[in-house]
Structure 1
Amino acid sequence: MRVDRKTFRRLVREAVASLPPELLARVHNVDIVIESRPTARDRKLAGIGPNDLLLGLYHGIPLTHRGENYNLVAPDKISIYHEHIEAICNSEDEVREQVRKTVLHELGHYFGIDDDRLEELGMG
Structure 2
Amino acid sequence: MALQVSPERFEELVDEALAEIPDQLFDLVENCALIVAEEPEPEMGDVLGFYDGTPLSERTSQYSGVLPDRILIFRGPLLRLVSSEDELVEEVRITVWHEIAHFFGIDDDELDDLGYA
Q: What is residue 14 of structure 1 aligned with on the other side?
A: 16
Unpaired runs of 5+ residues, structure 2, are: none
Please state how far the C-alpha of 1:31 moved relative to its aligned partner: 0.7
Unpaired runs of 5+ residues, structure 1, are: 44-51
User: Residue 79 of structure 1: SS of its match in structure 2?
Assistant: strand
Rounded to whole Å, the distance in 1 between the matches of 2:25 and 2:63 is 21
Please state how far the C-alpha of 1:53 moved relative to its aligned partner: 2.0
Counterpart of 1:121, as a letter, is L
Counterpart of 1:73, as a letter, is V
Could you list the structure 1 runs, at least 4 aligned residues long, displaced by more than 4 angstroms after superposition: none
Please state how far the C-alpha of 1:65 moved relative to its aligned partner: 1.3
Q: What is residue 69 of structure 1 aligned with on the other side?
A: 62
Please state how far the C-alpha of 1:93 moved relative to its aligned partner: 1.1
Please state how far the C-alpha of 1:110 moved relative to its aligned partner: 0.4
Counterpart of 2:18, as a letter, is V
Identity %: 40
User: Residue 65 of structure 2: SS of its match in structure 1?
Assistant: coil
1:89 corresponds to 2:82: yes
Counterpart of 2:81, as a letter, is I
Counterpart of 1:122, as a letter, is G
Correspondences of 1:41-60 after superposition (within 5 Å): 41=43, 43=44, 52-60=45-53
Q: CA RMSD in A?
A: 1.0
Q: What is residue 48 of structure 1 aligned with on the other side?
A: none
Q: Deviation digits for residues 60-105 of structure 1, max 9, x if unmatched?
A: 0101111211011111100000000001101111111111100000
Please state how far the C-alpha of 1:40 moved relative to its aligned partner: 3.1
Rounded to whole Å, the distance in 2 between the matches of 1:90 and 1:118 is 24
Q: What is residue 109 of structure 1 aligned with on the other side?
A: 102
1:23 corresponds to 2:28: no
Question: TM-score, normalising length from structure 2?
Answer: 0.94
Aligned residues: 115
Q: What is residue 78 of structure 1 aligned with on the other side?
A: 71
Question: TM-score, normalising length from structure 1?
Answer: 0.89
